[in-house]
């Protein structure tokens, strides 16, 4: 058994389960990892975001995890900025540390090693998901741990190469998306000054190195009862300076919509903007 990828004390018992601890916002990265383990025919994979490996609907999530983690499991932490912002992920990390579980830390491409913290041992070898050599070693280690048959020819190399290509594409998409001008709903309520209006609080971010003019803003709000509220306007007076991050308040008439802001469930916001040259 290679200690390079397994943290914790050495054990003579055979590991029978892989539990992948990750943030749901990283599920696209995790899908690549699960695909590799599946093609290796690794049994008993637990991964909440992947069909076929998720927690059953009729199971209590905490009891299920306790049952799985009480066995001889190998925990894979897929670490990212999203992971450390998730209380559920940090709880999983703490529970695994208390149970002294074997673990491997795998980082998403944009996450830096120096950002690792919590119960993860900084001296434990970790690697990034797009590191071809380390990924290959990790799968070879999994083959030995689970007593799997050796894969024929260059099969393992080829599936690792494809996974790395996919992961790099995901990382490029993530980097591009972070640079996009964005608008997020931060709050909504009945306008305290006008009961027939909604007061909408938006956060607008411009990561570009030039000013932009907001041309069209489309908002669709939905509540728990399925009622919706749609609003489109052309905000001629909303300008975002280079690298600006600001709050904008809107007061809009509810009209005949049955939407209830205190039952808000989801929103969709679309922007159209142009480079401001004035």
User: CA dist 118 to 29, 42, 115, Å?
Assistant: 22, 28, 10
Active site residue 59: no
Q: Which of 9, 92, 137, 174 is catalytic?
A: 92
Which of 64, 81, 20 has its CA nearest to residue 46? 20
Question: 94 near 119, Cβ under 8 Å?
Answer: yes
Enzyme catalytic residues: 92
């Amino acid at each position: 058994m290679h200690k390079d990828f397994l943290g914790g004390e050495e054990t003579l018992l055979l590991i029978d389960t892989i539990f992948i601890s990750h943030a749901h916002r990283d599920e696209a990265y995790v899908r690549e990892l699960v695909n590799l383990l599946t093609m290796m025919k690794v049994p008993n994979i637990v991964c909440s975001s992947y069909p076929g490996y998720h927690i059953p609907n009729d199971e209590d999530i905490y009891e299920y995890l306790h049952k799985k983690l009480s066995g001889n499991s190998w925990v894979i932490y897929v670490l990212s900025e999203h992971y450390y912002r998730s209380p559920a992920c940090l709880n999983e990390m703490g529970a695994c540390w208390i149970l002294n579980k074997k673990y491997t830390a795998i980082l998403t491409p944009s996450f830096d090693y120096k950002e690792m913290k919590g119960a993860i041992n900084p001296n434990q070898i970790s690697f990034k998901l797009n590191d071809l050599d380390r990924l290959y070693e990790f799968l070879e280690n999994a083959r030995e741990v689970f007593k799997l048959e050796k894969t024929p020819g260059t099969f393992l190399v080829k599936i690792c190469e494809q996974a790395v290509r996919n992961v790099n594409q995901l990382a490029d998409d993530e980097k591009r998306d972070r640079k996009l001008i964005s608008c997020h709903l931060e709050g909504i309520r009945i306008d305290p000054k006008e009961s027939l209006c909604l007061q909408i609080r938006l956060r607008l971010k411009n990561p570009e190195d030039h000013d932009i003019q907001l041309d069209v803003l489309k908002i669709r709000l939905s509540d728990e009862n399925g009622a919706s509220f749609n609003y489109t306007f052309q905000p001629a007076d909303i300008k975002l300076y280079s690298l600006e991050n600001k709050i904008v308040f809107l007061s809009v008439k509810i009209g005949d919509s049955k939407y209830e802001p205190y039952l808000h469930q989801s929103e969709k916001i679309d922007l159209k903007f142009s480079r401001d040259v004035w």
